[in-house]
Amino acid sequence: MRCLLVIFLALPMTTWADAHIRVLAASCAACHGANGNSVGGTPVLAGLERNHFVLQMQAFKSGVRASTVMHHHAKGLNEAEIDQLADFFAVQTRVTSSSPMPLGSL
């Protein structure tokens, strides 16, 4: 009985946390593409090693790593959010473009 109660209490918490991270991740999509698969000049986040992700975000936050825009985004996130975003992007599949190289690009 007690076990059931724990499940009922834990369930909405997990879904809420998951939804929160998805909303945060969606705000990164404007520059980093859907699920972190950037199509522009910004780094691809999909499949990024989680420790690398966390270290970069902390470096943007503290100013150790110079950035054009990321210090703004990193400062708005707390440690738990950065950890969960690292987990989220680490499991996204990295999509590589299958289009041929444009002529004259070599």
Stretch that binds ligand HEC, among 2-10, 12-20, 25-33, 96-104 (CB under 6 A): 25-33
Closer to ligand HEC by Cβ: residue 16 or 49: 49
- The interface with ligand HEC within residues 33-62 (CB under 6 A) comprises 42-43, 45, 48, 53, 56-57
Q: How far apart are CA 87 and CA 85, in angstroms?
A: 5
Query: Quick one: 11 or 26, whose CB is closer to ligand HEC?
Result: 26
Task: Say whether residue 73 binds ligand HEC (CB under 6 A).
Answer: yes
Distances (CA, A) of 61 to 56, 75, 102: 9, 5, 37
Give the nearer residue to ligand HEC in terms of CB position, either 46 or 70. 70
Question: For ligand HEC, which residue of 11, 15, 27, 79 counts as binding (CB under 6 A)?
Answer: 27
Residue 73: what residue type?
A: H
What would the two tokens of residue 13 be?
């918490």
- Tokens at 38, concatenated: 């950037």
Q: Name residue, tokens 């002529």.
A: 103
